[in-house]
Chain A
Amino acid sequence: MSIRDQFEAGFVSKSDCLVKYEAKAEPLSIEVHSSVQSLFGNAIRTCAMQMLEEFKVTTGALLVDDDGALDLVIRARIEAVLRSAGYLSQKRLFVNASSEISRQTGVPTIESEKNASLDGGIERPGRSLVKQQVRLYMPGDQPHFAINADFYGADILIFDLEDSVPLARKFEARILVRRFLENSFLFRKSERAVRINPLSTEESVHDIAEIVPAMPDIILLPKCESAMDVERLDTLLTANEEEYGLVPGSIRIMPIIESAKGVLAAYEIARASQRNSALCFGYEDFSRDIQSKPDIVKVAHVQDDGSQKVNIPSNPVSSIDSLLARQIIILASRAADIEPLDSSYSDIGNTEGLLNSCYEARALGFTGKSVIHPTQIPYVKKAFLPSDEEVQQAKAVIAAYEESLKAGKGAVAIDGQMIDIPVVEKARRIIEESMHAE
């Protein structure tokens, strides 16, 4: 955000800071205000000076108005104003050079050690071996959501650069997201994903260039409408991975299908890249695209004669307008051997509605759901948890199967149902999931 020679980034809000830089000829001045001044005032000042040095800034006025932001956030905000003002980091140039050396010599540098999680990614095929059940969306320009997010129980944390970030904030948001990704010790349990802007926008290219060096586990591709979209992203990712000395193919892709076109191309999209690990459905945009009015059903029934004459369930099928789309996505994903993941439930306070929507998703065949607030996570996990009945049945299946193996028999039947290998595999999966509850 800039007005001629004034540049600013961030907000004065909890765990964030507002940074302003005024470009002028006078020698450098730094002003720090902070709600944690007596405890971290010097640390903030030191951090500001390091950043100014890194960007070789010698003139102008820098103001930091802080409300308990972590160091990485302060650095992100300062970096944003300085880059807006036309300065370049000396360190980033060095980082590129050092990873180049590391690649040639095989000697790990500090930077490549910091990114040691790469080792886990080398052998990772497009098809995910990790759980992708709950994905938590977090606005990419608001740090306080991300700081403790690792403890909220999501399988995947999604830093959003698309819909939750206004255009004027996209530049500083992707810098903040990059810095969060670089501080990988904050995210030991959950995988880190970024939802970039649609490929049809210029922003997406900047997103990828900024984010890839920080090695997210997953890129979510919104408004995906064709196999070509995925192929383009794949190519862009590979080019950037190579440029930054990373192993090509280590970042997974989750295309988000949220239009009629996208649904009709679902199978091609699902098969378009080895990097694909899931197809995600995006309901809100889809509904807008096909111009559906699912609420009208409820309203019409009530309006007819002032009372409800038809027996409508208190929580009607939420997917009435997207049932076919959801099923196509599930079929396409399963056929391509990747996972179908459902859209989020937008009414944050309504836990009953959320649970119903999860059960519905599970009944259809989705393996997970996204959430837009951390308080929704336990409910999604609960809904996707195998029931006691399912677990008992699964245990019985496995016991019967192992018994038959011992006896040297092939297939056996339990309660009249044939137990073959796929049935046993499903039973094992159910037990595995139930063990990971909580």
Chain B
Amino acid sequence: MNIDGRLNKPFQDVFSDATQEQRGRKIKERAVQPSAISQRQKPDKLVASWDELFERLDIQDGATISFHHHLRNGDKIVNEVVARLASRGIMGLTLAPSALFSVHDALLPYIKDGVIAKIEGSMNGAIGAACSHGEIAQTCILRSHGGRQRAIREGDLPIDVAFIAAPCADSFGNANGLYGSSACGPLSYAKPDSEYAKKVVILTDNLVPYPCSSWSIRGGNVDYVLNVESIGDSSRIVSGTTQLTKSPTQLVIARLAARFIEAAGLMKDGFSFQAGAGGISLAATVFLAERMRNAGIKASFAHGGATKILVDLLEEGLLDSIIDLQSFDLDAVRSCAKNEKHIESDPFSSYGPHANGCVANMLDIALLGATEIDLNFNVNVVTHSDGILLHGIGGHSDASSGAGCTIITAPSFRKRIPIIKEEVTTITCPGELIDVLITERGIAINSRRDDLLWSAKKADLPCVDISQLMHDVYQITGVPEKPHFTDHPVALVEWRDGSLIDTIWQIEE
């Protein structure tokens, strides 16, 4: 399969490695360039201005530039760098961010003008929609966090320049996200970029004297450091609200999820879990904690994004540690800086598909969301039922692949749109990795997991057959029409190993 001159390996199955032959291959090494640092000279990587930086970088048309998303909706760097490159007349860039947010809708004019020709990374909201409408010149690529790390490490995603926004850095390039007015917690997602990009730039608004303590990004990997006025507004990293959801349906689902986890025997001393930052996941964590308190049970660790809710559990002692890839609120940022049990991770350690085991493998429970799920439990997290690309994969496929029990929580329909379909619009995670679906209308358990079904029934939980559930919901909502696509692929969905698991097609206008 050849798309845009790229040879794609078809998906085989979740644990066999379609790119097996690469495993024996040497890991991509940084293009070895003579170090600019002579041996008896104290390196000074500081550049005076954006202009000096770009002159030294000498970025050409068609270059690949990368960014992290730890500042989430408060990020200023992606927009600034693209605007400055555009004003220098650069065209045809490939953007390789770990994710984009609605603040990056400002990039839309550059997509239209051809400054940005391709995106290899999560696309949210308006940019995802633009991709679906065929507005991005080349075919984009969606990867999970683990898949992105693998692609960078193994040379599938060669990065020319990594621009790393750092809330705290020294002139040598050591950097972390823990301190300063733009503190955002870990800098996890920038780590592979810093190790494998041809050039690495640290952009900071908090330049501290050498040595910066601690260093999430190692200065030895960094070429330039630029002091800027502001890298972003860290108050806007908060996604949604840290208050418990008021949605009665979300609360019903969250309570049921916590009940299920206890009834299935998953809530035992020393267990571990990953829960997202969505309303249902946060509430489920709160209800699970209540049950842990009542039963006198403690968990060993929680993994993934960190929130105030997890920090409170850590401080209460219900949780031994947090393995944090990104902070979702400022309480998590503070905890990451001060609590040694709040561990900053990186995508290789957390999700690395070709690592010798990762944190996801150590998980007992992954509690995740979905935009759609089908009768075979295949999950879609990127497109909506109308075919429009609206979300990134995040760590969804990585956590599902590793965890002992993967639970999808979702309302059975949103507004009038059912989430259970005969077939999902886009497959991002195969059904064999999904064990349980929990909706307000009951719990559907994958027939591969009779053990879970048995425990749930024994505990008198409302178990439903997934196809019965789909029909019940259709009775309420009606059967939706299918979206119409053209035969033009706008984005490829990679499985963790780099094989092609699905394609997103341009929507028919």
**Residue from A38, A67, A373 within 8 A of B481 (CB atoms):** A38
Contacts of B221 in A (CB 8 A): none
A15 lies within 8 A of chain B by Cβ: yes
Interface hits, B407-426 → A, CB 8 Å: 411, 414-417
Instruction: Report yes or no: A42 in contact with B481, Cβ–Cβ below 8 A.
Output: yes
Instruction: Report yes or no: B440 in contact with A43, Cβ–Cβ below 8 A.
Output: no
The complex places the Cα of A39 from the Cα of B483 at a distance, in Å, of 7
The complex places the Cα of A186 from the Cα of B475 at a distance, in Å, of 10
A123 lies within 8 A of chain B by Cβ: no
CB-CB under 8 A for A151 and B417, given A38-B481, A40-B478: no
What is the CB-to-nearest-CB distance from A339 to chain B, in angstroms, rounded to a whole number? Answer: 25
Interface hits, A10-45 → B, CB 8 Å: 14-15, 35-36, 38-43
Contacts of B249 in A (CB 8 A): 148, 151
Instruction: Report yes or no: B475 in contact with A40, Cβ–Cβ below 8 A.
Output: no
The complex places the Cα of A152 from the Cα of B248 at a distance, in Å, of 7
Interface hits, B452-499 → A, CB 8 Å: 475-478, 480-481, 483
The complex places the Cα of A152 from the Cα of B411 at a distance, in Å, of 13
The complex places the Cα of A8 from the Cα of B75 at a distance, in Å, of 44
The complex places the Cα of A35 from the Cα of B480 at a distance, in Å, of 13
Q: From A38, which residue of chain B is reached at the shortest CB distance?
A: B386
What is the CB-to-nearest-CB distance from A378 to chain B, in angstroms, rounded to a whole number? Answer: 7
**Residue from A41, A151, A153 within 8 A of B441 (CB atoms):** A151
CB-CB under 8 A for A68 and B248, given A38-B386, A38-B481, A38-B483: no
Instruction: Report yes or no: A40 in contact with B481, Cβ–Cβ below 8 A.
Output: yes
Interface hits, A271-320 → B, CB 8 Å: none
Q: From B462, which residue of chain A is reached at the shortest CB distance?
A: A151
Contacts of A378 in B (CB 8 A): 255
Contact with B along A424-438 (1 / 0, CB 8 A): 000000000000001
Contacts of B251 in A (CB 8 A): 374-375
Interface hits, B233-250 → A, CB 8 Å: 246, 248-249
Contact with B along A369-399 (1 / 0, CB 8 A): 0000111001000000000000000000000
CB-CB under 8 A for A36 and B248, given A42-B481, A70-B476: no
The complex places the Cα of A38 from the Cα of B483 at a distance, in Å, of 7
Contacts of A42 in B (CB 8 A): 481
Q: From B249, which residue of chain A is reached at the shortest CB distance?
A: A148
Prevailing SS type, chain B contact patch:
loop
The complex places the Cα of A43 from the Cα of B259 at a distance, in Å, of 38
The complex places the Cα of A67 from the Cα of B478 at a distance, in Å, of 15
Contact with A along B47-74 (1 / 0, CB 8 A): 0000000000000000000000000000
The complex places the Cα of A291 from the Cα of B378 at a distance, in Å, of 61
B252 lies within 8 A of chain A by Cβ: yes
CB-CB under 8 A for A374 and B248, given A15-B415, A40-B416: yes
Instruction: Report yes or no: A15 in contact with B416, Cβ–Cβ below 8 A.
Output: yes
A185 lies within 8 A of chain B by Cβ: yes
CB-CB under 8 A for A35 and B481, given A151-B249, A374-B248: no
CB-CB under 8 A for A375 and B385, given A36-B416, A186-B476: no
Instruction: Report yes or no: B475 in contact with A39, Cβ–Cβ below 8 A.
Output: no
Contacts of A186 in B (CB 8 A): 476
Residue picked from B248, B251, B411, B441, most chain A C-beta under 10 Å = B248
What is the CB-to-nearest-CB distance from B259 to chain A, in angstroms, rounded to a whole number? Answer: 7
Instruction: Report yes or no: A151 in contact with B440, Cβ–Cβ below 8 A.
Output: yes
The complex places the Cα of A378 from the Cα of B258 at a distance, in Å, of 14
A69 lies within 8 A of chain B by Cβ: yes
Q: From B414, which residue of chain A is reached at the shortest CB distance?
A: A68
Contacts of A15 in B (CB 8 A): 415-416
**Residue from A36, A43, A153, A438 within 8 A of B415 (CB atoms):** A36
B contact residues, total (Cβ < 8 Å): 24
Q: From B259, which residue of chain A is reached at the shortest CB distance?
A: A438
Instruction: Report yes or no: A375 in contact with B248, Cβ–Cβ below 8 A.
Output: yes
The complex places the Cα of A42 from the Cα of B484 at a distance, in Å, of 14
**Residue from A14, A71, A152, A185 within 8 A of B478 (CB atoms):** A71
The complex places the Cα of A375 from the Cα of B252 at a distance, in Å, of 9
Interface hits, A31-90 → B, CB 8 Å: 35-36, 38-43, 67-71
The complex places the Cα of A42 from the Cα of B385 at a distance, in Å, of 16
Residue picked from A39, A70, A373, A438, most chain B C-beta under 10 Å = A39
Contacts of B255 in A (CB 8 A): 378
Instruction: Report yes or no: A70 in contact with B440, Cβ–Cβ below 8 A.
Output: no
Contacts of A70 in B (CB 8 A): 416, 476-478
Instruction: Report yes or no: A69 in contact with B416, Cβ–Cβ below 8 A.
Output: yes
Contacts of B411 in A (CB 8 A): 148
Instruction: Report yes or no: A43 in contact with B478, Cβ–Cβ below 8 A.
Output: yes
CB-CB under 8 A for A68 and B481, given A148-B248, A375-B246: no
The complex places the Cα of A39 from the Cα of B507 at a distance, in Å, of 13
Q: From A438, which residue of chain B is reached at the shortest CB distance?
A: B259
CB-CB under 8 A for A152 and B417, given A70-B477, A186-B476: no
Instruction: Report yes or no: B417 in contact with A39, Cβ–Cβ below 8 A.
Output: yes
The complex places the Cα of A116 from the Cα of B481 at a distance, in Å, of 32
Contacts of B415 in A (CB 8 A): 14-15, 35-36, 67-68
Contacts of B417 in A (CB 8 A): 36, 39, 68
What is the CB-to-nearest-CB distance from B245 to chain A, in angstroms, rounded to a whole number? Answer: 9
Q: From B412, which residue of chain A is reached at the shortest CB distance?
A: A148
Instruction: Report yes or no: A148 in contact with B416, Cβ–Cβ below 8 A.
Output: no
Contact with A along B200-234 (1 / 0, CB 8 A): 00000000000000000000000000000000000
Contact with B along A346-382 (1 / 0, CB 8 A): 0000000000000000000000000001110010000
CB-CB under 8 A for A39 and B248, given A68-B417, A151-B440, A438-B259: no
What is the CB-to-nearest-CB distance from A40 to chain B, in angstroms, rounded to a whole number? Answer: 6
The complex places the Cα of A298 from the Cα of B480 at a distance, in Å, of 57
Contacts of A38 in B (CB 8 A): 386-387, 481, 483
The complex places the Cα of A373 from the Cα of B247 at a distance, in Å, of 10
Contacts of B416 in A (CB 8 A): 15, 36, 39-40, 68-70
Q: From A46, which residue of chain B is reached at the shortest CB distance?
A: B478
Q: From B416, which residue of chain A is reached at the shortest CB distance?
A: A68
The complex places the Cα of A99 from the Cα of B475 at a distance, in Å, of 25
The complex places the Cα of A378 from the Cα of B255 at a distance, in Å, of 10
The complex places the Cα of A38 from the Cα of B417 at a distance, in Å, of 11
Contacts of A373 in B (CB 8 A): 248
The complex places the Cα of A172 from the Cα of B416 at a distance, in Å, of 21
Contacts of B387 in A (CB 8 A): 38
The complex places the Cα of A69 from the Cα of B476 at a distance, in Å, of 11
25 contacts between A and B (CB under 8 A): A14-B415, A15-B415, A36-B386, A36-B416, A36-B417, A36-B480, A38-B483, A39-B385, A39-B480, A40-B416, A40-B480, A41-B481, A42-B481, A68-B415, A68-B416, A70-B476, A70-B477, A148-B252, A151-B252, A151-B440, A152-B252, A185-B475, A373-B248, A375-B251, A438-B259
> Nearest 8 pairs between A and B by C-beta?
A68-B415, A374-B248, A39-B480, A68-B416, A151-B440, A38-B386, A148-B249, A151-B252
Given A38-B483, A378-B255, 19 other A-B residues pairs in contact with their CB atoms under 8 A: A14-B415, A36-B415, A36-B416, A39-B480, A39-B483, A40-B416, A41-B481, A67-B415, A68-B416, A70-B476, A148-B249, A151-B440, A152-B248, A152-B252, A185-B475, A185-B476, A373-B248, A374-B251, A375-B248
Which A residues contact B (CB, under 8 angstroms)?
14-15, 35-36, 38-43, 67-71, 147-148, 151-153, 185-186, 373-375, 378, 438
Which B residues contact A (CB, under 8 angstroms)?
246, 248-249, 251-252, 255, 259, 385-387, 411, 414-417, 440-441, 475-478, 480-481, 483
